[in-house]
Amino acid sequence: MKVDSHTHSKFSADGREEIDLMVENAKAEGAEYIAITDHCDMDTLQEGNVVPVPWSQLDLDAYFADFNRVKAKTEGIYLAFGIEAGFDKRANKLYEELIAKWPFDVVINSVHFVDGYDAYFPYYFENKTKETTYTRYLETVYDSLFATYQFDIVGHIGYCVRNAPYKDNVIHYADNSELIDRIFKKIIELDKALEVNLHNGMVPNIELLRRYFELGGRKISFGSDAHRGDVLKDYDETSKVLKLIGFTHFSIFKKRIEERVEI
Ligand SMILES: [Zn+2]
Ligand SMILES: [Zn+2]
């Protein structure tokens, strides 16, 4: 059973695609579950966070109305209503209120901002060493696990590598083993799903996924992080890699209840 738990529609500031078409594409790929998880970025509203590109906030009323329009006519696939929450501990209260108010199927908690900068963009790396940028990113991921709002999935650990200017931009386990273990142990203790994200290569990388498995981590979710309708991207290759590590199931969420489907 193919599933995709992380996708963006035109309601995300950086998304383009109609929900209708995303659902069609997912069905054409043979998927039985697709979650729309548009960006909800209370992090960008926090003082001192430097937003690098023009950014609009998610219009949840418009998003929910359009989601329901598509949901009503959709058959043969479960269409899930979700958000990707951009973590900033100062936004805890805002997310608590918002998540209580809307009937989400799934909430992904993702770190984008680290020390005032979005770790996707080159300005985050200016005048800092790889050791500093990656360690601070991972420390912020650890902090995000203590978010006071309900979330189901820990989003894209490794986000900072996407545009990192280093010859060797890999997050090596050996460089931050204590911190990485602390993150994975906490995810396991909290019983959250660790996302395998395919936006630009696989994150977490295979070395980190192996370590998560070694520590007892079994809950993972698949996320194409598609912004252009390319849902289920790299699904078959990724599934093979995950099975070789030992993973057998993906977690999906319906009305915040977890189900596990065979990879
Ligand atoms: Zn993200
Ligand atoms: Zn995303």
DSSP 87-102: --GGGHHHHHHHHHHS
CA of 82 to the centre of ligand 1 (A): 13
CA of 6 to the centre of ligand 2 (A): 6
Supply the DSSP string of 168-219, one letter for each residue. S----GGGGHHHHHHHHHHHHHHTPEEEEE-BTB-BS-HHHHHHHHHTT---
pLDDT digits (tens, 9 = 90+) for 191-220: 999 999 999 999 999 999 999 999 999 999
18: exposed, middle or buried (Cβ count in 10 Å: 0-12, 13-18, 19+): middle
Nearest C-alpha neighbor of 156 from the set 191, 115, 79, 208: 208
User: Hey, is 206 helix, strand or coil?
Assistant: helix
- CATH code for position 210: 3.20.20.140
Query: Domain span at residue 114?
Result: 2-262
User: Hey, is 35 helix, strand or coil?
Assistant: strand
Q: Which ligand is nearest to the CA of 14?
A: 2
Report pLDDT for 105: 98
Please tell me the total count of domains within the chain. 1
Which residues make beta-bridge pairs with 205? none
Report pLDDT for 255: 98
pLDDT digits (tens, 9 = 90+) for 100-136: 999 999 999 999 999 999 999 999 999 999 999 999 9
Report pLDDT for 229: 96
Q: Which ligand is nearest to the CA of 12?
A: 2
Supply the pTM of this predicted model. 0.98
CA of 231 to the centre of ligand 1 (A): 15
pLDDT digits (tens, 9 = 90+) for 69-104: 999 999 999 999 999 999 999 999 999 999 999 999
Q: What is the CA radius of gyration of the chain?
A: 17
**What's the average model confidence in pLDDT over 65-72?**
98
In the structure, ligand 2 is a single-atom ion and the residues with CB under 5 Å from it are 84, 225
